[in-house]
Amino acid sequence: MFADLFVGTLVFGQLADRFGRRLVFTAALLWYTAAAALLACQHSADQIIFFRFLAGIGAEAEIVTIGSYTTELVPANSRGRSFAFLQAIQFSAVPTVALIASYFVPAAPLGLEGWPVKSRATKSQYPVVLQCWEPRS
């Protein structure tokens, strides 16, 4: 059930140590974005499961690299607050997306069924913009 998270942790955690956290975080973000976009276009259950697996690998790769990247980026005296803020964002993501989904699923905005819109409204858009201003690790 959580095999995608296991694979993301195992593979991308080692890649982050070898190639740098920023590069791997950016690659994981692009991986997740591509997998989520492809997931939104699927029609069969097998395809949805496969692309959900790929999206889960990318999501976990982001989660596993952001902690160590935050450790490198934030000064020691404010690291605790930074981790608390990071955890607050991570734990509030699912309820936020659920609220957005409850708005879109019964409707068909722009003639689209609700679930592709919901899939595109996830976390994949905003971090791409924020990446431009992050310092290198």
pLDDT at 104: 66
Stretch 26-44: mean pLDDT: 89
Give residues with Cβ within 8 angstroms of 34, minimum separation 6.
none
Write down the CATH number for the domain with range 3-133. 1.20.1250.20
Cα(44)–Cα(25) distance, rounded to whole angstroms? 30
DSSP string, 14-42: HHHHHH-HHHHHHHHHHHHHHHHHHHTT-
Stretch 11-23: mean pLDDT: 85
Written as six digits, the tokens of 77 are 């005296």
Domain ranges of the chain: 3-133
Backbone CA torsion sign across 48, 4, 123, 27: negative
pLDDT at 123: 47
